[in-house]
Amino acid sequence: MRPSTLYSRALIASTALLIAVAILSLLHPDPHVAQLLLSGHTMGTTYSVKYRSGPDVPSLEALQVAVGALLVEINQTMSTYDPDSELSRFNSMRTTDWVRASASLFTVLHAALEVGTQSEGAFDITVGPLVNLWGFGPEFHPDRIPLEVDIMAARARVGHDKLTLRDTPPAIRKHRPDVFLDLSGIAKGYGVDRVAEYMAAHGIEHYMVEIGGEIRVRGLNGRDTPWRVAIEKPLPGERSVQAVLALSDIALATSGDYRNFFEIAGRRYSHTIDPATGWPVDNHLVSVTVLADNSMRADAWATALQVLGFERGMAMAERLGLPVLFILERDGNFEERVSHAFKLYRK
């Protein structure tokens, strides 16, 4: 199974989340407080914003327009599918000179490099050449296993040492002209954070923002209880709930290999690429859910821990105090493992 682009994979994941949320809504009808909804398409997937209104809060129509415009701006900055985006223009440059960067792009790159260092290279935004080589990026080609010589050539273009940031004025520089950045493991999380900050800045104290399955919540839902967030059971071709969390004032992201993959000769090749080997991750870890203070950080860490695998990932989560739910598959059965910090959120 292989959708045509990474964005279509995000749409599948987002649809699954919305179905899970709908199931929860049926179980708890008749909200006590009016709860409004914004929704639409962005970054090749969907977004939704549930919130409780209040005095001096802009109208639903005004918020829909403003949030939509904000997400268009972010997509025009971060997308590798839009050849005119700021990121695509930087990727296409064949120079090692300093290039001015917008505040948005610089913020995401800085956070990505920080998580990359903390994760010992497991999260690497320079992995773009490998993502494209395996057919999971904007350079589409039929499912195939690349030649080892091509994997080695792509790996030579990958690594945090290939990119440098400068704070003042904000600028970025490649150390090889053919470096290609891929922000698909962090951009949606950043978009969630920007929308959440916009809502808070306009007097909205209770909301849940979701883009392609990445989530940030604040306050309480329409029943004056914490927001209920469903984690999907990691089964390809099915839609069911593995776990439900009651959350307030926190962000959540999930990474998994059960939707976005292709198969050849009975072997599954995941869209998540290990920068250290140049190959798709191949372990029993089928889903990783991370809680963090912002969605951008949760998004990046979910990918990093997926790359690390369960043993190394759990050791890192415990060392850094990350709240993480790991779901492993063994002989067709799912096993949950949680970090110590995650136990605080599991009732």
Give per-residue pLDDT as tens, 53-98. 988 999 999 999 999 999 999 999 999 999 999 999 999 999 999 9
3-state secondary structure of 109: helix
Q: Residue 4 above 90 pLDDT? A: no
- Take residue 234 and report the two structure tokens written for it: 């990691």
> Helix 103-118 and helix 295-308: axis angle, to 10°?
40
β-strand partners of 330: 333
Single-letter amino acid, residue 26: L
Q: Residue 7 above 90 pLDDT? A: no
Of 91-95, 240-244, 277-281, minimum mean pLDDT range: 240-244
Confidence of residue 157 (pLDDT cuts 50, 70, 90): very high
3-state secondary structure of 199: helix
Report the predicted TM-score, pTM, of the whole model to 2 decimal places. 0.88
- State the pLDDT at residue 114: 97
Q: Show the domains of the chain with their CATH numbers.
A: 6-76+186-344 (3.10.520.10), 91-174 (1.10.3980.10)
Q: How many CA atoms lie within 13 A of 173 on its CB side?
A: 10
Rounded Cα distance, 137 and 133, in Å: 8
Q: How many CA atoms lie within 13 A of 265 on its CB side?
A: 2
Q: Could you tell me if 331 and 134 are in contact, meaning their C-beta atoms sit under 8 angstroms apart?
A: no
- Take residue 299 and report the two structure tokens written for it: 């998004």
Q: Residue 1 above 80 pLDDT? A: no
Q: Which has more pLDDT, 251 or 268?
A: 251
Which among 233, 240, 248, 259 has a CA at the least distance from the CA of 291?
A: 248
β-strand partners of 244: 230
3-state secondary structure of 21: helix
Confidence of residue 215 (pLDDT cuts 50, 70, 90): very high
Q: Which has more pLDDT, 196 or 237?
A: 196
- State the pLDDT at residue 241: 82
The sign of the torsion formed by the CA atoms of 96, 276, 4, 40 equals negative
C-alpha 308, offset from chain centre: 16
- State the pLDDT at residue 259: 57
Confidence of residue 142 (pLDDT cuts 50, 70, 90): low
pLDDT tens digits, one per residue of 282-323: 888 989 999 999 999 999 999 999 999 999 999 999 999 999
Task: Kindly write down the DSSP assignment for every residue of 205-221, as one continuous string.
Answer: -SEEEEETTEEEEES--
Q: Residue 238 above 80 pLDDT? A: no
Rounded Cα distance, 248 and 233, in Å: 22
